Chain A
Amino acid sequence: MDERQQSLWSFMWQQHDKLLDQTLAHIGLTFTSLLLSVIIGIPLGIWIARKRQWSSWVLGIAGVLQTIPSIALLGFMIPLLGIGAKPAIVALMLYAFLPIIRNTFTGIIQVNSSVVDAAKGMGMSPSQILFKVELPLALPVILAGIRTATVINVGVATLAAYIAAGGLGEFIFGGIALNNSNMILAGAIPAALLAIVFDFALSKVQNIQFKKRRSGIVAIPLILILFSSFYLLPSALGSSMLAGFTPEFMGRSDGYLGLKDKYGLKIRTVVISDAVMYKAAFEKQLDVISGYSTDGRLKAFNLVVLKDDKTIFPPYYAAPVVRHEVLMKYPEVAATLNRLSGLINDSIMTELNYRVDYLKQTPEVVATNFLASKNLLQPSRNGNKATIRMGSKIFGEQYILLHMYSLLLKGYTDFNVETKTGLGGTKICFDALLNNQIDLYPEYTGTGLLVILNPKKEEVDKIIGSKEQVYDFVKNEFKKRYQLDWLQPIGFNNAYALMMRKTQAEEKHITTISDLARVIDEGK
């Protein structure tokens, strides 16, 4: 326990620059959105208190906005406002609407009607009644609404990290992706503290006596504006190009850290979710992104992969992993599956993924068409010599591969085939294989090395630059430790990659990561 606290403190100390930036950005996001929400929400609340027939509509819509899951609301904002601060602030503002509008409305309609009647009867004008009677009397309720909205916003603002708006979510989601609890806590603890501190401070404002509150009314907008301005501070200086990296990529040595070390890449970065990254690059919100080299979206959004000329990304060549026992008994399985070897390179796999992920063709159709085009499609022999059980992880690329294997086995051998798609992640597939629940599944060399074998760092460093050495290493180790055989690689490498828009890359003559680093240096 002690050690852990030590290392949390040392982590926070090491990263204090980043932590400060993120905290300021977080406060800025929270309060900018809150300020906008107050500016729009309070007049709206007053308006529906006057025109009661509209109140159910306005409150209904604000209520529906609140029920949209936060990440989805952020997602909706991207097509309209792109990525970064703008959509995050708008989404947070929409979240804060309900408590602010509702409490303004409730606060005003619950003002004693005889007080309003007296004000009117004494000759106060409608604006005097609003500012001298209704708003001061509704203020405790309105403040309670602002308080609720603040706490909600501090929480939801962590998600802004998914759309490159910064904030403490960068640490939280980076930590989750990297399984680094110190990093998670370094983001989560300050976020929780912010919520507690603001809640407490606003509760104090709420309890101030009527008299003093008059000056308090002036102070609140000023404080909101002051805190809002925090957001503008960090986003100073940096390169002309902007990179968006996933939280995981940001924290990995074979990711952003390696880019800085080995390529000396000095690019301005934002953290963003994998789900919106490709589209953001396409829409020129980002110039460089981290992705996977065979992702269908590469093609969908017309991006190119930059060559990793200093090989910092480990190779992730796909190949079937089969139980040795099965190969001994049925050697024709290996021969049949190896027919696919060398036929699918990166761009072909990207194309196939694109058809499944983007054109929404089924993996069966894509697999069938591909084999037909390579003259490998044989009618099924409907054999029943034995049943080969195959598994896959839960994404399109694996489904396609599995269907190809299935078609090949049925067409070229007398085996019957049973497929278990969707076995979740690496761990589940691998355990199923070890426990003799499946006979084979497609795996990637890099995953075999770093996730399953997980050898010492020196050993990894020695071989990581060469795809052949990595393949040989995992092949030998798997055989030795688990009696599992790696068949021949299919040919494509689904590794981490930096990507750019094709047009921009051509215009700036960038084909490798080194080119990118040079262009950025020159640009400065």
Chain B
Amino acid sequence: MIELKNVSKFYKTVKAVNDVSFNVEEGQTVILLGTSGCGKTTTLRMVNRLVEPTEGTIFVNGKNIQAQQEQELRRGIGYVLQHTGLFPHYTIAENIAIVPRLMQWNEQKITERTRELLEKLQLDPDKYFHLYPDQLSGGQQQRIGLARALAANPPVLLMDEPFGALDPVTRAGIRKEFMNLDELKRKTILMVTHDVQEAFEMADIICLMDKGNLVQMGKPTELLFNPANDFVKNFFSDQRFLLGLQSITLNDVWHNLKEAPANEKAYAVDPASNLLEVLEMLSSNNSSITNYVAQNGKGSKSVTLPVILSAFSAYKTMEGHG
């Protein structure tokens, strides 16, 4: 869906982005991760031609973006910014309708679409339709920013630190909400963040960048357990344990768990939950029931603290060598 081929961007002698190539498949979420100044935002902005590459070619939807009229190209790509970039002189409804209006949809269709999006984002259309952005909280503004990007149903979405301006609590909440949004699940997304936690939660594929170079690209667990070099290893060293627990689900370690004995009183655990969630659940229990059972199509397994920890370390060893 998005394809970068040997893309570079030089500012005079500085190589902001150096020979970067990757693909984002349809429906995938790819996250450009790195410290500030690593070239991740420049890479993102080259996709909708806010920055023109010095070398290389970029394809969106199979078409070379240089061959397209830049405004046409941008109208077909949703764009979410860190500081929302909402127009302060437009109402919420007008903000959401910007791209549909540019594409000359009829007014009725625009109104319907606007209301639909507000409802999906759990903002009461009757209440918010005519408000101005400065009357909304930061989290609400960020949701309107997303609604605006989604309004014209673009197949591709670019997100530049979409939660960067929010406080940690709001950030986690909005992130969850976004991830659960059906409309977003179908999109091909290229997103920039410097937040490792966020990248692990949201990414199908992470591209770790440093000094304009693409250092490693792969699934979160690949980067964590099979780092390409010391830079990658060090990048996650602070949070390695937590990230590890977080990126592995019960399903991933299913064969290392023990069969559950038949027992009447047991909590059911979702086999898709990650190990961190399971540990949190185990440690916060204060009722008399101490049995936990996960069940999927292959059978039911009992979930206890020692079993989870040994399954985790077995998985790590296997990944690291495989």
Contacts and interface: CB of A to CB of B under 8 A. Distances in A.
Nearest to B132: A210
Interface in B25-80: 48, 50, 70-75, 79
Interface in A429-462: none
Interface stretch (B82-90, B189-197, B309-317): B82-90
Contact of A117 (B71, B81, B102): B81
Nearest to B130: A211
B98 interface: yes
B71 A124 contact: yes
Interface string A121-140: 11111001000010011000
Contacts of B75: 122-123
B223 interface: no
Contacts, number: 59
Interface in A86-123: 112, 114-115, 117-123
Contacts of A115: 85-88
B71 A114 contact: no
A299 B11 CA distance: 70
Interface in B85-120: 85-89, 98-99, 102
A114 B88 CA distance: 11
B9 interface: no
Given A123-B74, A124-B102, A136 B89 contact: yes
Contacts of A117: 50, 81, 85
Interface in B271-293: none
B148 interface: yes
A121 B50 contact: yes
B89 A121 contact: no
Contacts of A118: 79, 81, 84-87
A122 B74 contact: yes
B48 A121 contact: yes
A506 to B, nearest CB: 68
A208 to B, nearest CB: 12
Contact of B89 (A122, A128, A137): A137
Given A121-B79, A123-B75, A123-B99, A210 B89 contact: yes
A128 B79 CA distance: 18
A330 B276 CA distance: 124
A331 B74 CA distance: 104
Interface residues of A, number: 17
A137 B73 CA distance: 26
A257 B223 CA distance: 100
Contact of B83 (A114, A119, A133): A114
A390 to B, nearest CB: 75
Contacts of B148: 122
A121 B44 CA distance: 11
Contact of B81 (A114, A128, A136, A137): A114
B50 A123 contact: no
Contact of B84 (A114, A125, A133, A136): A114
B84 A121 contact: no
Contacts of A128: 102
Given A117-B50, A118-B79, A123 B71 contact: yes
B113 to A, nearest CB: 15
A137 B71 contact: no
Interface centre among A123, A128, A137 (most CB of B within 10 A): A123
Contacts of B79: 118, 121-122
A123 B89 CA distance: 18
A133 to B, nearest CB: 6
Given A114-B81, A114-B82, A125-B71, A119 B48 contact: no
B81 A120 contact: no
A125 B98 CA distance: 12
Looking at B48, B75, B79, B87, the one whose CB has the most chain A CB atoms below 10 A away is B87
| Chain B CB within 10 A, most for which of A117, A118, A137 | A118
B85 to A, nearest CB: 3
B142 to A, nearest CB: 12
Contacts of B98: 119, 122, 124
Interface in A471-491: none
Nearest to B85: A118
Interface in B115-165: 132, 148, 158
A133 B87 contact: yes
Contacts of A119: 85, 87, 98
B178 to A, nearest CB: 18
Contacts of A114: 81-85
Contacts of B102: 122-124, 128
A524 B126 CA distance: 74
A338 to B, nearest CB: 85
A117 B70 CA distance: 14
A125 B84 CA distance: 19
A357 to B, nearest CB: 61
A118 B79 CA distance: 8
A84 B71 CA distance: 51
Contact of A123 (B72, B86, B88, B158): B72
A121 B81 contact: yes
Given A114-B81, A114-B82, A121 B74 contact: yes
A393 to B, nearest CB: 65
Contacts of B158: 121
A40 B138 CA distance: 40
Contacts of B74: 120-123
A136 B89 CA distance: 8
Interface string A2-18: 00000000000000000
Contacts of A136: 89
A40 B75 CA distance: 34
A269 B173 CA distance: 79
Contacts of B85: 112, 114-115, 117-119, 121
A128 B83 CA distance: 21
Contacts of A121: 48, 50, 74, 79, 81, 85, 158
B58 to A, nearest CB: 15
Contacts of B50: 117, 120-121
A121 B82 CA distance: 13
Interface string A217-241: 0000000000000000000000000
A446 B99 CA distance: 83
A122 B148 CA distance: 9
B86 to A, nearest CB: 7
A115 B89 CA distance: 11
Contacts of B72: 123
A212 to B, nearest CB: 12
B151 to A, nearest CB: 9
A125 B71 CA distance: 7
A24 B83 CA distance: 51
Nearest to B148: A122
A198 to B, nearest CB: 26
Given A118-B86, A119-B87, A122-B148, 10 more contacts: A115-B87, A118-B79, A119-B98, A120-B50, A121-B85, A122-B74, A122-B79, A123-B70, A123-B72, A133-B87
15 contacts: A114-B81, A114-B82, A115-B85, A115-B86, A117-B50, A117-B81, A118-B85, A118-B86, A119-B87, A120-B74, A121-B48, A121-B85, A121-B158, A124-B98, A136-B89
> Which 9 A-B residue pairs are closest in the complex by CB-CB distance?
A118-B85, A123-B75, A123-B74, A121-B79, A114-B83, A114-B85, A210-B89, A123-B71, A136-B89
